[in-house]
Structure 1
Amino acid sequence: MSATALTPRVVLTRPQGKNEALARRLSGAGLPALLLPALHIQSLPADAAHIPDPDAYDLLVFVSGHALQFYLQALDERRAGWRWPVHTRAATVGGTSARMLREADFIASSQIIHPGPDLSQDSESLWHLLQPRLNTLKKVLIIRGRTGREWLGSKLEQAGVQVDRVAMYDRIPALWDTQQAEQLGQVLGQAEPCVFLLTSSESLDAVHANVRRLGLEHGWARSRFVVIHERIARRLQSSLQASGKVEPAMVKICQPGDDTIFQMITLAAAL
């Protein structure tokens, strides 16, 4: 960072490759951002993941864009010339993953199920969309990371649906190095509180672990936060209270798209 550069007031913690466009947009708005991915996304070794055929299922549920990306890559590598079956639907918990499906152009839009922009982008909203279709679902495949919520799969099983699961990737907590620690220390040492973007409970835990390890909890406690789900907000407030913070932190909740995140970060930084 040059001597004349502005010190960042925003910390973006999504995985590498997910922060850059948002960082450029924030910089253009006078809010330079520090990119500190909380989790490293790593595809599982080929021999560690059996790749089920979509033809064997009535529905495939992709829990994230990474789940979609790694599953399609595996299909391309192992089943040259595969075609998406006309009887199989695909579901995502978010609009971004649904857009990736449409843009991949191998499945009709009418076969894609996902919560609209007026709904929360989560398993609960997707479940409400699947309930009227339960009589058409005998076998469902959930494509996910090695760890994650079991809520949707459990709901489907309780409704009598056979649910298989395949893990396509790991989310590994990042261990920030000396340079990253110095940069974060500068950000948290400013008079103005900084704004953290947190997009999963796992990333929250990884960020907090780094903050504790680096002795930066005082600056963390006076920060502001933007999260994409009420569940993350509750976990964050509990974590801060356990660290000794008495007053609730400023936490803003928004949908996971870059447009809404940008708006909420700029709002949180201005307050």
Structure 2
Amino acid sequence: MSHLPALTPLPILVVTRPLAQAIHSVARLQAAGYAAWALPTLEITGLADEPAQQQLAQALAALPTYDLVIWVSPNAILMSVTAAPTLLTTWPATTTIAVLGPGSLQTLQTEGLAPTVSVFSPQGATSNAPAETARYDSETLWQVLNEHYLPRTVSGKWAAQRVLILRGQGGREWLARQLQTAGAVVDVVACYARRCPPLTAPQQTTLRGWQAVQQPLAWVLSSSEGASNLISMLEMGGISLSWARRQPVWVPHPRIAERAKTLGFLDIHLCGTGDSGLIDSLAQARRDSA
């Protein structure tokens, strides 16, 4: 867990991403001059049951039979590589990749995918969306695929396409439904599980201490599920929800903002995507309040 920042008159940014990503984000924020602390509200784990493990192994072994593979997150890529270590370095030339955002693009590169493999994303060479304005969600990826991927296929029709979506258990169904409605043959396969972690004793102590002295915080929420988990964790840990809900919230997507609103948060801000987008939005907020 990241080093606990000292008390400050400015809000401490509480990053709620899964642990590996949260630690990276905290380091980026601290390097940019912000006090930040990691409080993961999603725990990423491997698949517990053997049938799910076998389904993933079979899907990864059958990659050459798919026209398009969609990874919904960096965790989906990492857990797929864990299941098949040579996955990206031996990627079939006939199978195209699509991902949702810059974090996944970076993960593909870090894990060894050859630059010659076609990758479609809301932020990539195949998309017209500038990095600073792109929305990294299923809706935008669907638009990118229709505008840039489909015209490059032999038939130009989804009815001729076999698509594999790799995601966590219980993920969002929207993109799969769009593909199926358009005629594609879609397999949705889980490559990891998510759970809501309990607050640890040190985390409870820290939050109670901040609550006692009314230390300003700002919750950085990166998913709707993580936002819901935060409330559950605080409630189970005996942290005042009225205090927590008074702290400002930063979210990268209107859908997460809507969830935060239904959860009772009072001060919700939409920010850019990723660490750079958040840092830019925080800097702009400082300028606006000066």
Q: Give 1:109 shift.
A: 4.6
Question: Are residues 1:65 and 2:74 paired?
Answer: yes
- Per-residue deviation, 1:266: 5.3
Distance in 2, matches of 1:122 and 1:2, equals 31
Q: Name the % identity.
A: 29
Q: How far is 1:75 from its partner?
A: 2.1
Equivalent residue, structure 1, for 2:216: 193
- Read off the aligned partner of 1:56 and give its amino acid letter: T
Q: Distance in 2 between matches of 1:269 and 1:12?
A: 19
Matched to 1:256, the amino acid is T
Q: Report matched runs for 1:251-270 at 5 Å.
A: 251-265=268-282
Q: Indicate the residue corresponding to 2:128 in structure 1.
A: none
Whether the 8 Å contact between 2:28 and 2:275 is mirrored in structure 1 is no
- Determine if contact 1:65/1:96 at 8 Å carries over to the other structure: yes
One-letter code of the match for 1:101? Answer: L
- Report matched runs for 1:9-20 at 5 Å: 9-20=12-23
Aligned partners of 2:286 and 2:99: how far apart in 1?
A: 31
Query: In terms of mean alpha carbon deviation, does 18-27 or 2-11 score higher?
Result: 2-11
Q: Deviations over 1:124-162 (max 9, x none)?
A: 000001124162651100000001100000000000000
Q: Equivalents in 1 of 2:100, 2:90: separation in Å?
A: 23
Aligned residue number for residue 153 of structure 2: none
**Matches of 1:110 and 1:17 in 2, distance apart?**
26
Find out whether 1:219 has 2:243 as its counterpart: yes
How many residue pairs get aligned? The number is 262
> What is the distance in 2 between the residues matched to 1:127 and 1:14?
25
Supply the distance in 1 between the matched residues of 2:49 and 2:63 (Cα, whole angstroms).
Answer: 18
- Kindly indicate whether the alpha-carbon contact (under 8 Å) linking 1:11 and 1:194 is maintained by their aligned counterparts in 2: yes
The answer (yes or no) to whether the contact 1:224–1:268 under 8 Å persists in 2 is no
- Contact kept, 8 Å, 2:272 with 2:281, in 1: the verdict is no
Given candidates 107, 117, 136, the residue that maps to 1:121 is: 136
Question: Are 1:177 and 2:184 counterparts?
Answer: no
Identify if the C-alpha distance between structure 1 residues 265 and 167 changes in structure 2 by more than 3 Å, giving closer, same or farther: same
Give yes or no for contact 1:195–1:268 (8 Å, CA) kept in 2.
no
Contact 2:70 2:163 in 1 (8 A): yes
Indicate yes or no: 2:152 matched with 1:135.
no
Corresponding position: 1:99 with 2:110: no
Tell me: CA distance 1:250–1:135, structure 2 relative to 1, closer, same or farther (3 Å): same
Aligned AA for 2:243?
G
Coordinate RMSD, CA, aligned: 2.8
Counterpart of 1:83 in structure 2 is 90
Structure-1-length-normalised TM-score: 0.86
Deviation at 1:204, TM superposition (A): 0.4
Query: Cα distance 1:96–1:36, how it changes in 2: closer, same or farther (>3 A)?
Result: same
Assess if the C-alpha contact under 8 Å between 2:135 and 2:273 holds in 1. Answer: no
CA distance in 2, matches of 1:3, 1:23: 11
**Is the CA contact (8 Å cut-off) linking 1:38 and 1:207 kept in structure 2?**
yes
1:231 to partner: Cα distance: 0.1
CA contact (8 A) 2:249 2:269 kept: yes
- Larger deviation, residues 54-63 vs 36-45: 36-45
User: Which ranges in structure 1 are unaligned for 5 or more consecutive residues?
Assistant: 242-248
1:235 has 2:259 as partner: yes
